[in-house]
Structure 1
Amino acid sequence: MTTDDDYAADIVRQYDRDRYLATLLAPEAQRPALMALFAFNAEIARIREVVSEPLPGEVRLQWWRDLLEGTEHGAVASNPVANTLTQTIATYRLPRPGLLAMTEARIFDLYDDPMPSLNDLEGYLGETVSGLIQLACLVLNNGRDPGTATAAGHAGVAYGLTGLMRALPWHASRRQMFLPNDIVSRHGLDPESVFQGKISPQLRSVLRELAEHVRHHLKRVRQVADTIPEECSNAFLPLVLVEPFLKKLEAPDFDPLQEIAEISQLRRQWILWRASTKPLLRL
């Protein structure tokens, strides 16, 4: 691994622990490329945390778009993530439109607009999480189309939606609402109560419906698991953490606005390692 590869891996270790641990179980030859992808994702996902208002965030996203579209950047040489991402794209012939779509979707993160509907949320997760899984599959399949688009689509919604429910206290503290407005309205949930940190039966009903939605997509992944090449199974490995996280979220004494559902790193490592030794159908 190069110094840039080490830097990218450290970014993933700090900001995307699940994918970091899963990637340690991937074939050694593909690990640097996977870390490059996941570091890029971590960098654009945390832009809101490092800017004080949306406009500088949009400028940062535009920098990544310009890079992906081939516009010259004098600062690229000094950006380890950009360097290793560029090399990964070239080595594995990754489609740039998928990476560009990820940056476009992340514009939503910079603002406090409500998520309009479940369909819109699925679209957002499709661009930001499913797309990342599909790109990881391409790396693991040495740049060849693995035919995993359907599985990646369902996997991204299941994993991404679980992550958003876990991050509810964090988002609520900054008055950001990823809970889809159509479901919020159907259950009579007042978004202001969420921002104020007030747990309610309505919120629990919304989260129950979303958990059912997660499990629906997990089921769909299992139904098409036999279409996923064995080489690509590592891209789906973090899915095995979804059910343990859901159980934490659904515990009677769990407060989804004050606590973040967590699993110890040791248990995460054990769950991921154990799953890596089994057929994908059993994830």
Structure 2
Amino acid sequence: MGEAADEAHYAHCEALIRERDRDLWLACLFAPQPARRHIHAIYAYAIETSDVRARVSQPLLGEMRLRWWTDALTNEVSEGTRAHPVADALLDTVARFDLPRDELVALADARVAELYDDQMPDMATLDDYCRMTSAGPIRWAARILGAGPSPAFDEAGLALGLTRVLRQPAGSLIPADLLARHGAELHTNAPALRAALAELRDKAQKHFETARGMARGLEKGREALLPAATVPLFLARVATSGYDPLQELSEPSPLRRQWRIWRAARGVGL
């Protein structure tokens, strides 16, 4: 692939993010321009893998699609892989910044759980899922920005991942041990289920507050935390009396979300 094709593939990644997740696209704008396209590549990969469930009629077909991504990350690059704009930009970014391929593979592997309706067994498993699917891209973005390892990136990712679970109608990602602790069942808008999700909300809030406190001590990479900046807005909605765990959570206004991202960026943190 020539330089023009490479640029087109990076542009494709940005367009995909802007279409699918405008808040994420806005958060990426605050990263330094040279790093921005590479951050677009890793988030485009996260979006591509998250979209697999909606694109297939059977779980096995979804597993095949996810296996294509793991093969692209672990095997010799083929022309077929390079012809895929997101894969091409992702592999170029991985090579330039020596991103941990095992972690990128783990993200695709974690998406397999989304293809089936098997209950998430416990809170520890959900935490691992959030570390792979939500914290992973934040860690990689921080590395692209020149930051060293910090628990702040995992804490922000856990807050973001748990909030994403709460934004969807209560389903199989809600851990069985959490439900059992409250005597709750899925598919019933009962006080017990709301109590279980309130515990999950409080856990997400604690992770966010921890990440915000740690952000002040970061020398580099604080812009990588910005995708989690809107977490408090969504958690506040979960806390309202009108919250229905059987329905997708309504979104705060775009203006409020944009303001929250801008304010966090001005503080270069959360």
TM-score under structure 1 length normalisation: 0.88
Q: In structure 2, what is the Cα distance between the partners aligned to 1:224 and 1:274?
A: 17
2:180 maps to 1:185: yes
Q: How many residues align?
A: 265
Q: Work out whether residues 187 and 206 of structure 1, in 8 Å CA contact, stay in contact via their aligned partners in 2.
A: yes
Give the SS at the match of 2:221.
helix
What is the 5 A alignment of 1:237-252?
A: 237-252=226-241
Q: In structure 2, what is the Cα distance between the partners aligned to 1:29 and 1:279?
A: 18
User: Structure 2 stretches of 5 or more lacking a match?
Assistant: 1-5
| CA deviation after TM superposition for structure 1 residue 183, in Å | 0.8
1:221 aligned residue (211, 214, 223): 211
**Equivalence for 2:129:** 124
Distance 1:202 1:68, change over 3 A: same
**Equivalence for 1:270:** 259
Amino acid at match of 1:221: A
Q: In structure 2, what is the Cα distance between the partners aligned to 1:146 and 1:228?
A: 9
| CA deviation after TM superposition for structure 1 residue 6, in Å | 1.5
Q: In structure 2, what is the Cα distance between the partners aligned to 1:126 and 1:258?
A: 25
| CA deviation after TM superposition for structure 1 residue 147, in Å | 2.2
Give the SS at the match of 1:224.
helix
What is the 5 A alignment of 1:68-107?
A: 68-107=73-112
| CA deviation after TM superposition for structure 1 residue 26, in Å | 1.3
Q: Work out whether residues 167 and 249 of structure 2, in 8 Å CA contact, stay in contact via their aligned partners in 1.
A: yes
CA-to-partner distance for each residue in 1:142-172, whole Å, 9 max, x for gaps? xxx5122x1122111111101110012xxx5
Distance 1:44 1:279, change over 3 A: closer
Q: In structure 2, what is the Cα distance between the partners aligned to 1:161 and 1:76?
A: 32
CA RMSD in angstroms comes to: 1.7
Q: In structure 2, what is the Cα distance between the partners aligned to 1:220 and 1:274?
A: 18
| CA deviation after TM superposition for structure 1 residue 9, in Å | 0.8
Q: In structure 1, what is the Cα distance between the partners aligned to 2:100 and 2:45?
A: 15
Runs of 4+ in 1 over 3 A off after TM superposition: 71-74
Q: In structure 2, what is the Cα distance between the partners aligned to 1:216 and 1:271?
A: 18
Q: In structure 2, what is the Cα distance between the partners aligned to 1:50 and 1:257?
A: 23
2:27 maps to 1:25: no
| Identity of matched residues, % | 37
| CA deviation after TM superposition for structure 1 residue 8, in Å | 0.6
Q: In structure 1, what is the Cα distance between the partners aligned to 2:258 and 2:12?
A: 22
